[in-house]
Amino acid sequence: MPTNTPKLGIVVRNHWSIESMHWGLDYNLQQDNIKRKSTRAARNLDTIQRIVYSVFSIWKGLRKKRSDKNKGIAELMRHISMSFTRLMRFLSQK
């Protein structure tokens, strides 16, 4: 019984990329521990959290400083959220 191995590989990689994002959201943003009062609030919060997680992931990948690359996303978020000035510097970087 022949199988389509390349297609199966694509399906598995797509599934695990989604699972890895969900794990990152839960681990870094404690998404599973947040109580949501309504469906709309849950959808809005989830969207905002995915955007924040994506921005930090992309930013971390673009950094040249080894110390930034070695930090976890949660640690970067905590560091930047400690002051408004750090947040503005983060947002203004290219």
Q: Residues 35-69: pLDDT tens digits?
A: 778 888 888 888 888 888 888 888 777 777 777 67
Q: Which two tokens stand for residue 11?
A: 């399906």
**pLDDT at position 14 over 70:** yes
Domain count, the chain: 1
Whole-angstrom distance, CA of residue 39 vs CA of residue 89:
34
Nearest residue to 29 via CA among 9, 13, 53? 53
Whole-angstrom distance, CA of residue 62 vs CA of residue 76:
14
Whole-angstrom distance, CA of residue 13 vs CA of residue 7:
10
Residues spanned by the domain of 48: 5-92
Higher pLDDT, 4 or 40: 40
Cβ atoms of residues 77 and 24 within 8 Å: no
pLDDT given at position 1: 53
pLDDT given at position 86: 78
pLDDT given at position 94: 61
Mean pLDDT calculated for residue range 71-81:
78
